[in-house]
Structure 1
Amino acid sequence: IRDMVRYQPGVSVVADPGRFGLQGFSIRGLDGNRVGMVVDDVPLPKGFGVGSFSRAGRDLIDVEAIEQVEILRGPASTLWGSDALAGIVNYRTREPTDFLARGDGRGAFYGARAGYSGRDDSVLAGAGWAAESGPWQAMVSLARREGSESENSADDPRRHANPADTLRQSALLKLIRNAGALGRWRLTLDHSRSAVDTDVQSLVNGPGQFSSTTALITDDRARRTRISADGRIDTHLPWLDSLTVLAYGQNANTRQHAEQHRRPEGRTRFFSLRVRDFAYDEDARGFKLLGQQRGDWLGIAHWNVVGVEFAHTRYRDLRDGFETNLDTGVSSTTVIGERLPVRDFPNSTGNELGVFWQDEMRLGERLALIPALRWERYRLNAHPDATYRDDNPDGEPADIRESRLTARLGARWKINARSSVFVQYAEGFRAPPFGDVNVGFTIPAFNFVARPNPNLESETSKGFEAGWRYESPELRASLAVFNNRYHNLIESRANLGTDPESGALIFQSVNRDRARIRGIEGSLDVALETWSDALAGWRLRSAAAWTEGDDTRRNQPLNTVDPARLVLGIGYDSRNGRFGGELVGTGVQRKTDVDSSTAALFRSPGYGLLDLLAWWRPTDSVRINAGVFNLADRKHWDWASSRKLLADAPDLEFFTGAGRNASVTLYVEW
């Protein structure tokens, strides 16, 4: 995933090096569920976590199934709904035509691939098939990757990455029918699963509740299955040129198991084994209708896009476990004062209905105005059962009713056939999520209480962006400046201090933050033979981003904002299409603007990395890709993975990125 967004300015990957791995993306300083993630226009499941042992991430699609990634930066709620407060990551999976275009024109494609990555000692095996016969197209793509832990660059062996065994499998099947005047229809089955067994040595004798831990063994599994049907009909009606229809069903589940071995300590005066299990399920059903029409009215050319989309989603979680006294063999389902099993939120259903419109109006040859509106209604219904009520006897979980109208207005001025400038204003909103409205639990051993908050308000944003774009066969370049303001940002399970009546430390999600995030982004892709014939085949690529964010309520920096980054690559592809390569340099600025008001936090130093990539096609049917990453073996910290560390943390090296490593992949097609 990191390699796919290498040249995407303002975008980074968020990961937990300890146990849970890749969690999602950060776009312009916001991450988590504020970033919308979709695959073939179907929303990917949300992330959810509570405590130190339970976290369902969003790394639920295999890169082997992805053909392209499109990223929209900044508030995108008008077209994509309330999950797109920070932006959208849109995956497009492979199509039969992607394979058939590489074939010999006989209407069939067969392919196999095998690879190795030194970053995690993983081995890849995959196969693909595609065929075309008359109006029918079909494809199958299968992949399996098995490996170990992602390495870091720690010098101290005690801070090496936690030993792990990893397995990821995926299957993508598509059947397409070109029905002439009745449209083009596609049926998709998309399945992926992962399993990670980890020896979490980094938390042995660790901080807080891990101070008496002698071993922590975990088994984490995730699975996602999507079935979707979509099609497009060219209607040729006076008021409608085409209609696109999408219907889908998607199921995702996470199962996590942890076995914590402990020695005697103050609260537990015996050797013990604590077993914890976490289950999280998200089931979604939805549809989307999209109509397009082009025409001229009053001398103005219009391109109207109107749409309706609906999603019904069920959310469920359960934490269970027990503690065994290893001296007596007696087990109890009460762990650190919690009587298990518990639900951290009641079984819930969410209904989202969105209606949107966009019109691209061309006023003459140069000017285009692009207004857009979206009305969205969000309903969250809680369905508490006995398990939830036993742990939350006080109060009734809340239902949420929220409606919002968001707008976007853009303008584009065409300087010439290749160059244009643009400016846009965009609004965004995010309804209070299930993970904040009704989350409640009590941990008596630590005297912690997490309370629901039915009075949460929606997060909102207003953003301005202006920029310049240039595109030709030889050169693509862009430059953008943006300034986004966010209101009522939800701080999940904020520390509200001690309850004067019970003496418990209270945690509750609250609308607290007002933020401003601004920055500059640019990208460049140029064929150097434009300047000299002697440079034929050479290409220069670059992407840069500088972002600044502030919590304007407290006048403190936003710690979610990444430091400035510059990526510069120079590559060569032979004219005969047989070989090529690229040398890529990445420079990251030292993180200086850090909110250390509650504790002195680690500030990641600046660093520079060099990667060397190469490919070779010895025959028309064989291709080999290879790469050596972090050529200079530089020790470095990625801010997104280390921003919560204390400045004097003894395990800083554990959070370093990978040292020098290599990968190679073999593709065979016939």
Structure 2
Amino acid sequence: MKYKKSILPSAITIALSGQAFGQTIQTLEKTVVKSQSIERDAVVEVLSSEELALRQVDNFEDLVKLVPGVSVSKGDDRWGASGFNIRGLDEDRVAINVDGVPQGETLKYESGQAYGYFKGSRNGVDIEALKSVEIVKGADAILSGNGSLAGAVNMTTKDPDDFLSYQGDDSGFAIKAGYSGENSETMTSLTAANRTGALESLIIYTYRDGNEFENYDMNGADIEGSAREIPDPQDTKLNSVLAKLIYEISPDNEIGFVGTYYKTKVITDTQSFNGGWYSNRVGNDISKTTRVGVFHKYEGETALFDKITTALNKQSIDFAANTSQHARFGFGGGITTDEDRVDTRAFNQDLFQVTVDLEKSFKFAQQKHKLVYGAEILNKDYENSQVRKSNSILNDKGWVESSSQALIPKSEADIYTLYALDTFNLGKTTQARLGARYDHYTYNAKADENYSDESGTLGEISFSMATWTAGIEQALNDSFSIEMGVSTGFRAPTIEDMYTTSGTLDDWNEVPNADLKAEYSTNYDVALVGEFSKGSFRLGTFFSKYKDFIDSEKRQGINTNTGETDPDGFFVNFNSDTVEIKGIEFSADLNLSRTFDLTPGLKTRVQAAYTSGENSEDTPIYSIQPFNLTWGISYDQPEGNWGVHTYASYTAGKEDKDSFTIDENGEKTYPLYSSNAATIIDLTGYYNITESLRLVAGVYNVTDKEYYRWDSVRFVDQGDMRPGIGVTDNGIKRYSEAGRNLGVNVSYKF
């Protein structure tokens, strides 16, 4: 077929050309990144499936391990990843798209996190299904959409012709098996692709079976309660299916179908939660993401477009957290509760999306223009429920079912989007970009049997957002250029942001606020870029300004029933003052073989990122990651039969001056635990036993360093997903990262 197959709805992602079997892709992050002739004003890192395979990437933490300034937001191993952290902002403030389809929103219910019952996460795609991953640093509303305040992660799934010859009838099959020592996970992936006449097909099935992620010392105290030093026992199972059918109507015209299925089941014996009132707690959590879509592509020179892509997608994300435990407590010296419980908290998100994306090249006033533009219609439905089944030994009623107020009301969102981005030349050495986007949101929240509208705030809410981007690239000579860009992003308030509530009219704990504005960011990037025959580099600085940042604060108010001031106060979300984040980023590639006249195939790469930021009260942004630097040296045999790659990653420790909060009395509060400075070395290698059979193996944390990630420990003293028992004695050890561990996989293609 004439062009590579990929779905390009609301976001336009990087499509990588095929690579030799034994080669990796090292893409220097640049302000201007070309993707099918499309350029943008953002710093972008592109990772191909080939690079992910050689690094044995099994999860999203592995994915961003060597990308400074980017990490994975994580609560604990029961809930897994809740999104990405880019340039100091995380979770819903970083957009996540798969084939242009937005992924789920988080649902954390801040006031209930201490009980550890529920945390809805965002991601629903397996690494083996991905062709490429585009990591965008900086605001990117034009191409990445809602949530791209600080950046975006845009993923593209594989296509049939990734496994087939360029043309003609053909079939391709692949089998891959792997083992990861950090969580004793075994993985099996099966792929089948076919082209018969004008019809192409693909199916990829992946199964993973693993245990808890190890900490540094798995011989630590294996006890129950807050002093537990090793992770809670866990059993995880994952099933993933990607299926595609593409029919070529003509060389420039095709129609396709895509279907995905992603299901995880995680059983966690949460022994660290046992103690005091609760015992025998076990979490049984199921997350399922399904998507079906159809798309049509047509290439032909018309007055309006040279290429048009239309797509319809229907996605459903269902998450159920089931917690069984025994509860025994009382007040006034007597036992008031002694029962077995099963609590089920479900969060369902359904999405229907229609997108039209167009590309047009033309000449105007002697200037060459590349215009991409399009529209999107998006409908989202949200529903949450909380159900408890209890069996009390204090009476003989048996199992009794009851429902609690849902965390959010049943809601619907209708979203309409228009966007355009034009790239054009200004003379022979200057290139410019201008883009704009318009989004209109209508939320409709209703009371039902799961959510009563005691506060009287439910109803229909509408608002609009306009975002834009502008950039310029000026060549100084044949080797150096200056890149400057201004980009904007936004995050619409979520249903949780607006309607989170707890307590009653007599005594509110958390009050809803349906008048929230969308968060808005403006990002400035300036960089010096050098490109030479032996390597390249980029030295850049950025400054990001955020307004209407959604935050929570404790307030005093009048009790609506008594007319008196509530002595305990209540929490409410509000749009805060300006937040500012700035930083420096550096990356460089050097061909060592050319530089020192050595055997071909020896290369090195260095990347570093430093970020700092504070709000209007000069309080540091808690989620900003410490300084990080990675250095890699790789050797790939010129014939591509084998290669060895070494990666060293240095992360500074988190300092108190960068991680304090200010309480309601104006006093500084510092974290109980911080991350430590650490240099971690990984060593991987591959060997092509035959043209079709490849072995990849790696040793990770080679020096067996004990270290803690800031994203793993920063919530401990805030009670996020840790109950009142928290962490005592040496219990913090269970949040350390894995020591030296091994990984291996074998793949066979035929």
TM-score range, shorter chain: over 0.9
Alignment of 1:264 onto 2:329 = yes
CA distance in 1, matches of 2:682, 2:95: 30
From the superposition, tell whether residues 595 and 130 of structure 1 become closer, same or farther in structure 2 (CA, over 3 Å): same
Deviates more, 1:350-359 or 1:648-657: 648-657
8 Å contact kept, 2:686–2:697: yes
Using the TM superposition, give the Cα deviation of residue 258 of structure 1 relative to its aligned residue in structure 2, in angstroms: 0.2
From the superposition, tell whether residues 476 and 301 of structure 1 become closer, same or farther in structure 2 (CA, over 3 Å): same
CA distance in 2, matches of 1:245, 1:642: 44
Match of 2:238 in 1: 168
Alignment of 1:13 onto 2:88 = no
Alignment match of 1:652 (pick from 721, 726, 732) = 732
Residue 159 of structure 1 aligns to a residue whose secondary structure is: coil
Question: Alignment length, in residue pairs?
Answer: 655
Map 1:38-77 → 2, pairs under 5 A: 38-50=97-109, 51=112, 52-77=116-141
Using the TM superposition, give the Cα deviation of residue 447 of structure 1 relative to its aligned residue in structure 2, in angstroms: 6.3
From the superposition, tell whether residues 186 and 472 of structure 1 become closer, same or farther in structure 2 (CA, over 3 Å): farther
Deviates more, 1:617-626 or 1:12-21: 12-21
8 Å contact kept, 1:612–1:627: yes
User: How well do the aligned residues superpose, as a CA RMSD in angstroms?
Assistant: 2.4
CA distance in 2, matches of 1:510, 1:583: 47
Match of 1:608 in 2: 679
CA distance in 1, matches of 2:155, 2:137: 14
Match of 2:259 in 1: 189
Using the TM superposition, give the Cα deviation of residue 20 of structure 1 relative to its aligned residue in structure 2, in angstroms: 0.7
Aligned partner letter, 1:597: I
Residue 577 of structure 1 aligns to a residue whose secondary structure is: coil
From the superposition, tell whether residues 269 and 309 of structure 1 become closer, same or farther in structure 2 (CA, over 3 Å): same
CA distance in 1, matches of 2:399, 2:670: 39
8 Å contact kept, 2:104–2:123: no
Deviates more, 1:231-240 or 1:126-135: 231-240
Map 1:198-597 → 2, pairs under 5 A: 198-205=268-275, 211-266=276-331, 269-330=336-397, 340-389=403-452, 392-416=453-477, 419-442=480-503, 449-470=509-530, 475-492=535-552, 494-496=553-555, 500-503=564-567, 505-552=569-616, 554-592=617-655, 593-597=658-662
Match of 1:664 in 2: 744
CA distance in 2, matches of 1:466, 1:110: 46
Q: TM-score, normalised by structure 2?
A: 0.83
Q: Report 1 or 2 for greater relative contact order, CA contacts < 8 Å, sequence distance ≥ 6.
A: 2
CA distance in 2, matches of 1:418, 1:393: 65
Using the TM superposition, give the Cα deviation of residue 171 of structure 1 relative to its aligned residue in structure 2, in angstroms: 0.5
Alignment of 1:622 onto 2:693 = yes
Using the TM superposition, give the Cα deviation of residue 412 of structure 1 relative to its aligned residue in structure 2, in angstroms: 0.8
From the superposition, tell whether residues 288 and 25 of structure 1 become closer, same or farther in structure 2 (CA, over 3 Å): same
From the superposition, tell whether residues 199 and 137 of structure 1 become closer, same or farther in structure 2 (CA, over 3 Å): same
Aligned partner letter, 2:101: V
Query: If each structure's strand is expressed as a fraction of its own residues, which one has the higher value?
Result: 1
Residue 340 of structure 1 aligns to a residue whose secondary structure is: strand
From the superposition, tell whether residues 427 and 128 of structure 1 become closer, same or farther in structure 2 (CA, over 3 Å): same
Residue 638 of structure 2 aligns to a residue whose secondary structure is: coil
Match of 1:208 in 2: none
Match of 2:25 in 1: none
Give CA-to-partner distance per residue, 1:141-196, whole Å, 9 cap, x none.
Answer: 10100011111114444310110110011001111122226513321111110000
Match of 2:92 in 1: 33
Give CA-to-partner distance per residue, 1:358-391, whole Å, 9 cap, x none.
Answer: 11120111111111111110111112213312xx
8 Å contact kept, 2:260–2:291: yes
Residue 306 of structure 2 aligns to a residue whose secondary structure is: strand
Q: TM-score, normalised by structure 1?
A: 0.93
CA distance in 1, matches of 2:288, 2:534: 43
From the superposition, tell whether residues 503 and 275 of structure 1 become closer, same or farther in structure 2 (CA, over 3 Å): farther
CA distance in 2, matches of 1:214, 1:226: 39
Give CA-to-partner distance per residue, 1:251-281, whole Å, 9 cap, x none.
Answer: 1100110012233343854433232101111
Residue 407 of structure 2 aligns to a residue whose secondary structure is: coil
From the superposition, tell whether residues 417 and 427 of structure 1 become closer, same or farther in structure 2 (CA, over 3 Å): same
8 Å contact kept, 2:457–2:512: no
Give CA-to-partner distance per residue, 1:415-441, whole Å, 9 cap, x none.
Answer: 455653211112222222111112223
Deviates more, 1:459-468 or 1:160-169: 459-468
Residue 131 of structure 2 aligns to a residue whose secondary structure is: strand
Give CA-to-partner distance per residue, 1:93-117, whole Å, 9 cap, x none.
Answer: 111122225x999721111111111
Gap regions ≥5 residues in structure 1:
206-210
CA distance in 2, matches of 1:470, 1:443: 62
Match of 1:129 in 2: 192
CA distance in 1, matches of 2:246, 2:588: 36
8 Å contact kept, 2:361–2:371: yes
Residue 534 of structure 1 aligns to a residue whose secondary structure is: coil
Give CA-to-partner distance per residue, 1:501-537, whole Å, 9 cap, x none.
Answer: 4555422222125211101112223321121332421
8 Å contact kept, 2:103–2:123: no
Using the TM superposition, give the Cα deviation of residue 574 of structure 1 relative to its aligned residue in structure 2, in angstroms: 1.3
Residue 539 of structure 2 aligns to a residue whose secondary structure is: strand
From the superposition, tell whether residues 76 and 329 of structure 1 become closer, same or farther in structure 2 (CA, over 3 Å): farther
Residue 615 of structure 1 aligns to a residue whose secondary structure is: strand
CA distance in 2, matches of 1:523, 1:247: 38
CA distance in 1, matches of 2:170, 2:590: 35
CA distance in 2, matches of 1:261, 1:415: 70
CA distance in 2, matches of 1:82, 1:250: 17
CA distance in 2, matches of 1:504, 1:326: 35
8 Å contact kept, 1:590–1:603: yes
8 Å contact kept, 2:169–2:197: no
Aligned partner letter, 2:490: F
